[in-house]
């Protein structure tokens, strides 16, 4: 029987040791979470230190930490916020989490782990740590677009984690995973969420607003936490995790419009029990178990760091972010944290993973937590280095690509692409269902009179038209979006935007294939062991990569021709001395797709930061995302090479998105913007 003395003793040990270790961590400029984990190791049963807390009691208290952390995440979540992060962060998170799920599963199978254990491994490495990243960004003072992008990815990742938690809770039986179980589970989960959210929206926001009208903070806190615990308990009663219920509770409370105020009230309570949660994680780390599986921990650490850096960078770039921002985002998200602990703990509690996976996940989290600060600091120099090492034609493409997507966002909205998106998603969902059904039939065929070849043949006959339809819809959607960004000229006219449109078309196809294909492979791969379901996806991406390389060659020729025209236009403008005219206005009409949404010419003055520096030293593209297409110096056109030293009164024609060009102007300031239109905006 647990007495009040036992409870007080455990709590005193946990908080006192955690306070000491976190103070030391902060003195050493290490993450606070690491201090909590060390505290757990100290008071845990696995080290010969005569200071042991009751693990069962601490674990029970840590459950409150999970609930309150998830409740706080729900308070921060809203449909408006999700809409704000938009397709940029959403597609990036889907690509990154999907590829990491696939990679983690394959690593688990390669290590000889069961299907269920491998699925949990994929889920563990898929989600980055909100706590660690936010603290690191605050410590290093990182703001602006990079922070917005990373936080947006984290929001979508949190939603993916919620779905993973709910799904893994329902399908984990310790005896494997079947396709039929997955279909049934997803159906029940959808019904549960629909009913809970539907009823909750009618009741919770109104109740919360009524309580807040009393203007009693303690009453608001008690009522809000009461809603949180009640809905978490309801989710557990129906067989789902308390984390899912707590997140939904926070989202429902946030719909009252009082989310920010309640979040401030809950924060001290959340921080206290979250600390206990991380301490309980440290108590469950068995150094001996980690030592026995050090190879798996090391391999997964490499997978997390390399996989997340590459996947986030690719996803962020494909959705229109500059190379520098994309690389920085990838290096910022290269860790796992609280959700990984929750998922690993869930697998251990349900008996689905055994006792070895939790300490392995904890070891990976500790190492990646330590590397996060260093990676964030190094992300800027690394991004600049990579930008300089890219082939010239790819450098040209990366500069123009963001401006094309900007033109696409500014283009008039039409219904055609939306219809294609709906059709593409429907075909992808149908193909996924066919593969799931094939997995069920494949297992049934082993114990029935139905020959296996008949099942596989029927699956191929149904899947082939869907695969062809998805490929065609992807091509049509990419072409429609490219036409909207860079409209073709009328019949019989020379299409001068053909080269940039082709490059944009191919790149959009890559993004569409990844955004649609990666989730399909992540869902279906565990159901078809031994079948290379990603081969078709990889093959298609290979074909698109070849097409992309060829398109950049054509684009490079287009830009070279454009540079000559731009130089001539600038020199002609100098000779005629027409201050009210736009020197690049005709160029924009003749050669669209040069990353010039409006005339963007900068004249350097003697006080400019750029005067006396070479373009390589200035690294304008690496820092801002804009590039110098042409330079004129008096009556001469200067070739914009890396070794060219800039001089006062040089006129630079810039290409890039509006945001990139604005950033470039700041770097080149003080400056005189030649275009009258730009001057009017200044």
CATH topology of domain 4-389: Na+/H+ antiporter like fold (1.20.1530)
CB of 614 closer than 8 Å to CB of 507: no
> With b meaning 16 or more CB within 10 Å and e meaning fewer, what string describes 78-98?
beeeeeebeebbbbbbbbbbb
Number of CB atoms found within 10 A of residue 54's CB:
19
What per-residue confidence (pLDDT) applies to 461? 81
What per-residue confidence (pLDDT) applies to 122? 92
Interatomic CA distance for residues 296 and 294, integer angstroms: 5
**Residue extent(s) of CATH 1.20.1530.20 domains in the chain:** 4-389
pLDDT band at 529 (very low <50, low <70, confident <90, very high): low
Interatomic CA distance for residues 167 and 334, integer angstroms: 24
Averaged pLDDT, 403-412: 80
Share of the chain above pLDDT 90, in %: 10
Higher pLDDT, 47 or 562: 47
Q: Is residue 177 predicted with pLDDT exceeding 60?
A: no
List, for residues 617-642, the tens digit of each pLDDT value.
777 777 777 888 778 777 777 777 77
What per-residue confidence (pLDDT) applies to 1? 56
**Which span out of 79-93, 228-242, 301-315, 650-664 was modeled with the highest average pLDDT?**
301-315
In this structure, of 31-45, 390-404, 633-647, the range with the lowest mean pLDDT score is: 633-647
> With b meaning 16 or more CB within 10 Å and e meaning fewer, what string describes 217-249?
eeebbebbbebbbebbebbeeeebbbbbbbbbb
What per-residue confidence (pLDDT) applies to 678? 38
List, for residues 298-356, the tens digit of each pLDDT value.
999 999 999 999 999 999 998 888 888 899 999 999 988 778 888 888 888 777 787 78
Average per-residue pLDDT for the chain: 80
pLDDT band at 175 (very low <50, low <70, confident <90, very high): very low
What per-residue confidence (pLDDT) applies to 578? 53
pLDDT band at 142 (very low <50, low <70, confident <90, very high): confident
What per-residue confidence (pLDDT) applies to 679? 34
Would residue 185 be called left, alpha or beta, if left means φ above 0 and alpha means ψ between -120 and 50 degrees?
Answer: alpha
Please tell me what DSSP assigns to residue 645. B
**Which span out of 55-59, 307-311, 426-430, 576-580 was modeled with the highest average pLDDT?**
307-311
List, for residues 571-601, the tens digit of each pLDDT value.
766 655 555 455 566 666 656 666 655 557 7
Share of the chain above pLDDT 70, in %: 84
Cα 305-309-310 angle, rounded to 5 deg: 120
Q: Is residue 264 predicted with pLDDT exceeding 50?
A: yes
Report CA 360 to chain centroid distance, whole Å.
24
List, for residues 483-497, the tens digit of each pLDDT value.
888 887 666 566 677
What per-residue confidence (pLDDT) applies to 558? 75
What per-residue confidence (pLDDT) applies to 20? 92
**Which span out of 84-93, 292-301, 353-362 was modeled with the highest average pLDDT?**
292-301
Report CA 67 to chain centroid distance, whole Å.
24
What per-residue confidence (pLDDT) applies to 180? 60
List, for residues 459-515, the tens digit of each pLDDT value.
778 888 888 888 899 899 999 888 888 887 666 566 677 888 888 888 999 889 888
In this structure, of 360-364, 565-569, 640-644, the range with the lowest mean pLDDT score is: 565-569
Q: Is 614 helix (H, G, I), strand (E, B) or coil?
A: strand
pLDDT band at 414 (very low <50, low <70, confident <90, very high): low
Averaged pLDDT, 276-284: 82
What per-residue confidence (pLDDT) applies to 677? 37
Interatomic CA distance for residues 14 and 661, integer angstroms: 53
Report CA 413 to chain centroid distance, whole Å.
26
Cα 295-299-302 angle, rounded to 5 deg: 145
Please tell me what DSSP assigns to residue 356. S
Interatomic CA distance for residues 398 and 320, integer angstroms: 9
List, for residues 248-260, the tens digit of each pLDDT value.
888 888 888 888 8
What lies within 8 Å, CB to CB, of 105 at 6+ separation is: 118, 119, 121, 122, 522, 525, 526
What per-residue confidence (pLDDT) applies to 532? 58
Q: Is 577 helix (H, G, I), strand (E, B) or coil?
A: coil
What per-residue confidence (pLDDT) applies to 174? 43
Interatomic CA distance for residues 73 and 277, integer angstroms: 16
pLDDT band at 146 (very low <50, low <70, confident <90, very high): confident
Interatomic CA distance for residues 390 and 398, integer angstroms: 10
Q: Is residue 456 predicted with pLDDT exceeding 70?
A: no
pLDDT band at 675 (very low <50, low <70, confident <90, very high): very low
Higher pLDDT, 44 or 335: 335
Alpha carbon distances (Å) from 400 to 499, 506, 581, 597, 621: 12, 14, 25, 11, 11
Interatomic CA distance for residues 591 and 303, integer angstroms: 44
Query: Which element (helix H / strand E) includes 601?
Result: strand 601-604
């Amino acid at each position: 029987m647990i007495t009040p003395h036992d409870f007080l003793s455990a709590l005193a040990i946990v908080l006192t040791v955690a306070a000491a270790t976190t103070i030391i961590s902060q003195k050493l400029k290490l993450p606070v979470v690491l201090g909590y984990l060390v505290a757990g190791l100290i008071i845990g049963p696995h080290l010969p230190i005569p200071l042991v807390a009751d693990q069962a009691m601490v674990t029970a208290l840590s459950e409150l930490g999970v609930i309150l952390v998830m409740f706080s995440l729900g308070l921060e979540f809203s449909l408006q916020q999700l809409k704000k992060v938009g397709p940029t962060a959403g597609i990036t998170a889907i690509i990154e989490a999907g590829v990491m799920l696939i990679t983690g599963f394959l690593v688990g199978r390669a290590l000889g782990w069961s299907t269920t254990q491998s699925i949990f491994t994929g889920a563990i490495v898929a989600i980055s740590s909100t706590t660690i990243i936010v603290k690191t960004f605050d410590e290093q003072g990182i703001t602006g677009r990079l922070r917005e992008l990373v936080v947006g990815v984290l929001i979508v990742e949190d939603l993916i984690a919620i779905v993973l938690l709910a799904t893994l809770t329902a399908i984990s039986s310790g005896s494997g995973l079947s396709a039929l179980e997955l279909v049934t589970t997803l159906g029940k989960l959808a019904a549960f969420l629909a009913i809970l959210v539907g009823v909750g929206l009618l009741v919770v926001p109104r109740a919360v607003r009524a309580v807040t009208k009393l203007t009693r903070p303690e009453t608001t806190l008690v009522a809000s936490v009461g809603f949180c615990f009640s809905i978490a308990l309801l989710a557990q009663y129906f067989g789902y995790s308390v984390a899912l219920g707590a997140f939904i509770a926070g989202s429902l409370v946030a719909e009252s419009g009082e989310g920010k105020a309640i979040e401030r009230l809950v924060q001290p309570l959340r921080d206290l029990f979250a600390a206990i949660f991380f301490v309980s994680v440290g108590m469950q780390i068995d150094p001996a178990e980690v030592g026995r599986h050090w190879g798996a921990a090391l391999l997964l650490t490499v997978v997390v760091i390399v996989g997340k850096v590459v996947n986030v960078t690719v996803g962020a770039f494909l959705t229109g972010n500059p190379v520098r921002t994309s690389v920085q985002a990838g290096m910022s998200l290269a860790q796992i944290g609280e959700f990984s602990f929750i998922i690993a703990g869930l697998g251990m509690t349900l008996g689905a993973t055994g006792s070895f996976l939790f300490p392995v996940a904890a070891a990976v989290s500790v190492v990646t937590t330590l590397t996060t600060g260093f990676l964030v600091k190094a992300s800027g120099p690394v991004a600049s280095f990579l930008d300089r090492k890219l082939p010239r034609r790819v450098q040209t493409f990366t500069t123009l690509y963001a401006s094309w997507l900007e033109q696409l966002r500014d283009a008039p909205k039409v219904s055609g692409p939306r219809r294609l998106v709906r059709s593409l998603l429907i075909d992808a969902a149908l193909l996924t269902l066919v593969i799931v059904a094939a997995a069920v039939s494949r297992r049934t065929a082993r114990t029935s009179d139905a020959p296996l070849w008949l099942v596989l043949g029927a699956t191929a006959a149904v899947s082939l038209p869907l695969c062809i339809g998805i490929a065609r819809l992807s091509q049509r959607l990419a072409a429609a979006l490219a036409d909207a960004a860079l409209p073709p000229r009328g019949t019989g006219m020379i299409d001068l935007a053909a080269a940039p449109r082709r490059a944009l078309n191919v790149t959009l196809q890559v993004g569409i294939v990844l955004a649609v294909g990666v989730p399909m492979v992540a869902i279906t791969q565990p159901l078809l062991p031994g079948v290379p379901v990603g081969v078709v996806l990889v093959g298609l991406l290979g074909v698109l990569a070849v097409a992309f390389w060829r398109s950049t060659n054509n684009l490079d020729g287009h830009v070279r021709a454009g540079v000559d025209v731009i130089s001539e236009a600038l020199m002609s403008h100098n000779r005629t001395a027409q201050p009210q005219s736009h020197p690049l206005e005709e160029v924009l009409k003749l050669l669209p797709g040069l990353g010039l949404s409006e005339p963007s010419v900068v004249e350097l003055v003697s006080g400019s930061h750029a005067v006396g520096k070479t373009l390589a030293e200035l690294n304008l593209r690496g820092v801002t995302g804009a590039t110098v297409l042409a330079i004129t110096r008096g009556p001469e056109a200067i070739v914009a090479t890396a070794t060219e030293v800039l001089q006062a009164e040089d006129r630079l024609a810039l290409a890039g998105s509006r945001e990139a060009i604005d950033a470039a102007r700041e770097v080149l300031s003080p400056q005189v913007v030649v275009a009258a239109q730009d001057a009017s905006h200044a």
